[in-house]
Amino acid sequence: MSMSELMKFIVKELNKEPFNKSYNLISFDSLEPLHLLQVLNDVLAVIDPKQKMDIREESPDQTAVRIFQLLRVLKYKPPDNMNMSEFRAGIVQGEKPVIFPILEWLLLKVPELQKRAYLAKFLVKIDVPPEIMQEEEVNGIYLQYEELMDQFKELHKQSEQLKNSGFNTGEIRKDITNMEEEKEQLIKRIERLRRKVESHPNSQKMMMVAKNLRVERDREKKLAAQKQDQLTAIAHLDQRIKRLEVQLRDMRQTSIGATAESMIHKLEEETRTNGYIVKEQLPRDIGNKKKLIQNLQKVVSVPAMGHSDLEELNAQINLLNAEINQLIEKRMRSGEPTDDKLSLFRQQAGIISHKKEAAAETLRAARDEYNHILHELEQKREVVNAAEGTEVLKGEDFKRYVNKLRSKSTIYKKKRSELAELRAEVGVLTRTEEVLKQRNDHIDRQLSVLERKKGVAGYRETQEELEKVSSMKSELDEMKGRTLDDMAEMVRRLHAEVADRRNNLTPILREIRPLREKLQELNPEYESKKQAYERQQAGFDSNMSKLEQEVKGYREECKAEESRYHYLNCMMKVLQVQQSRVASEMKAYVSSDALEKKKTFREVYSRKIQEQESLSRGLREKQKTVKENHEPNMKQMKMWKDLERLLECKKHCMNQMSNVGTTEGATAMMGGYGDPAPTHLEEDRLVL
């Protein structure tokens, strides 16, 4: 990834949650080393909240040490083309080629690194010197510390499994409500049973027996828990014995072929190396750090400079470099031959000193890497021991284990085929169950409707509850009768089993001691043969993978050809059917039989065409007559509508005149005088 793409990725990630920065490429590229270190510290603070602070409030040495320690815990590996001294100096000075890859690595793995930083607080072991570990009290505390660490691993693993199990708050709340409803139902049921039991003559005696049963069951659970604790303690002691045996074996292997002179020579070399590091390299590094700190303090104390000030300083630097070059040339011209010889020796001495410094730095890096690898090896051993709980099989045991695995693999394949059949059958049965449930629900609804019609609603539920209560009562009676005998038999069986286990373990432990010694003798031969086996296995695996790829390609090609064959076969069948139709059509068309000719498609379609043409001619004639009679028919319809309106109006007027005539007759009877009634002609005139 180029530097520009790296900057784009870092700026994009820093502008997201939870950093919420507002950088762009220009502003981020123009950050000063101190601000860039602060950005790195902010990212580390998101991973580990303890790192949240302002780096201006602590010294650069403390900042560098704190960042180095956290990166080591997070298992960050510097680039291969950079040694540790350049890497440390780049972090202290805030150099972009060193800081940008760290930011990219951190931003790619933020959730994973947060988890690792959290676990490091509890799983990074404390380094205790061996001479202090020889004390019994310290050794006991350290063993207790390791046991607590193992317990934390198990609890954390269980927590992760629960987090990934898919439960959410909605489901838990639903389960809680269901459990509360079940609790209420159980309370009601218990009340009903209590009322029934109180009426029983031996109720107190039965309650005492049930109470004793519950007490004995609780005691049985406690004994089982104690047994489990003792088994775990035995497992921890076995692990401790294995670790001590490994340490003893390593010490014996290191002591093979060692003499006093070789050990003294080795110690002298180590002393000289450590003396050089302590007397020469560390003071030089401390002096360089102090000079760097002084320079940084001077830079911090100087007020902010502008572009013109920087140009002036660059010009002064160029002038001083030119003067230095002139002085060096002048000295070389005026130098004597003895000086030239001394300069050669000085160059050789400088080269040797540089080589010593590089070797010392390489030694320091190798020691750090060695300690880190030892720490990882110890952690992985603990993980393997915790996961397996047994030693690695070797020799004949391993062969028997392989044969056992092969037999189990054949059994597994057989069981897997049976499992596939059972799964298919389960699918069918599940569908059948769903159909039966639907039918049952439908029948229940019909029965509830019938019960409501007959006036006995809830009869079935009541009957089912009565049957359940009676069955529970019978089960309780049987269980109470068997309880005391079972408890006595269980206690006797447990005592006998414990005694048998003790008697069986004693000869086994005696036999194990010579076998362990024999195991230590056979370990080197096993390791050599294991390496040869692994080499052969790697070759076979590589050849097997190549052959599997070839077989896969051939199978895909075969599948493609089979699909093409089936497609062509189907097309041939379609063409054959079409050809048979064409042949039958030609046969019928050429035949001299009139009935056969009528069955041809040509005759059928020509007959249908004639029928449709005759039908269309009749429709055209009908359309023509409709168009010709449209206007007269419309006029006639309008005249009929006008006549209808005229008659309605006449009817309305007649009704009005009849009402007026009745009114005038009434007035004449009362002695009044009115106009004469209108005649029929006058009525017609009024209507018109």
pLDDT per residue over 546-571, tens digit each? 888 888 888 888 988 988 898 898 98
* Interval 40-63 mean pLDDT: 82
pLDDT(672) > 70: no
Cα(213)–Cα(487) distance, integer angstroms: 9
Tokens of 498: 């414990």
Per-residue pLDDT band at 670 (split at 50, 70, 90): very low
Q: C-alpha dihedral over 363, 365, 366, 368, to 10 degrees?
A: 120
Give every CB contact of residue 677 below 8 A, 6+ residues apart in sequence. Answer: 661, 664
CA distances from 196 to 182, 193, 364, 472, 473 (A): 21, 5, 84, 13, 10
pLDDT(293) > 90: no
Tokens of 133: 């570990």
Backbone φ and ψ for 679, nearest 5 degrees, come out as -85, 175
**pLDDT at res. 652:** 92
Per-residue pLDDT band at 643 (split at 50, 70, 90): very high
Respond yes or no on whether the N-terminal peptide bond of residue 18 is cis (omega within 30° of 0): yes
Where b means 16+ CB within 10 Å and e means fewer, 455-465 reads eeeeeeeeeee
The answer to whether 585 touches 605, Cβ cutoff 8 Å, is no
Cα(64)–Cα(70) distance, integer angstroms: 10
pLDDT(455) > 70: no
pLDDT(337) > 90: no
The model's pLDDT over 585-619, given as tens digits with 9 standing for 90+, comes to 787 777 777 677 667 777 788 888 999 999 999 99
**pLDDT at res. 619:** 92
Entry field: residues in the chain: 688
pLDDT(451) > 60: yes
Secondary structure of residue 128 in the 3-state scheme: coil
Q: Which of 31-40, 56-65, 226-235, 258-267 has the highest mean pLDDT?
A: 226-235
* Interval 185-191 mean pLDDT: 84
Tokens of 517: 């010694």
pLDDT(688) > 70: no
pLDDT(127) > 80: no
* Interval 367-389 mean pLDDT: 74
The answer to whether 106 touches 47, Cβ cutoff 8 Å, is yes
pLDDT(686) > 60: no
CA distances from 18 to 10, 13, 46 (A): 14, 9, 8
The model's pLDDT over 80-106, given as tens digits with 9 standing for 90+, comes to 777 777 777 787 777 888 888 888 888
The answer to whether 101 touches 79, Cβ cutoff 8 Å, is yes
Say what percent of the chain tops pLDDT 70: 80
The answer to whether 677 touches 664, Cβ cutoff 8 Å, is yes
CATH number of 3-124: 1.10.418.70
Q: Which of 250-264, 333-347, 634-648 has the highest mean pLDDT?
A: 634-648
Of the two residues 306 and 561, the one the predictor is more confident about is 561
Dihedral (CA of 105, 109, 114, 117) sign: negative
pLDDT(10) > 60: yes
Tokens of 211: 């109470």
Per-residue pLDDT band at 680 (split at 50, 70, 90): very low
pLDDT(634) > 80: yes
- What rounded mean pLDDT belongs to the chain? 77
The model's pLDDT over 190-245, given as tens digits with 9 standing for 90+, comes to 888 777 777 767 777 777 887 888 888 888 989 998 898 888 888 888 888 888 88
**Number of Cβ within a 10 Å radius of residue 92:** 22
Rounded to a whole number of angstroms, the CA Rg of the chain reads 52
The model's pLDDT over 154-182, given as tens digits with 9 standing for 90+, comes to 887 777 777 666 555 667 777 788 888 88
Where b means 16+ CB within 10 Å and e means fewer, 397-432 reads eeeeeeeeeeeeeeeeeeeeeeeeeeeeeeeeeeee
Per-residue pLDDT band at 683 (split at 50, 70, 90): very low
Question: Which DSSP string do the residues of 395-434 spell out, in sequence order?
Answer: THHHHHHHHHHHHHHHHHHHHHHHHHHHHHHHHHHHHHHH
Residue range(s) occupied by CATH 1.10.418.70 in the chain: 3-124
pLDDT(428) > 70: yes
In 3D space, the residue among 687, 154, 216 whose CA is nearest the CA of residue 382 turns out to be: 154
Q: Is 0.75 surpassed by the pTM of this model?
A: no
The model's pLDDT over 471-490, given as tens digits with 9 standing for 90+, comes to 676 666 666 556 656 665 66
pLDDT(109) > 60: yes
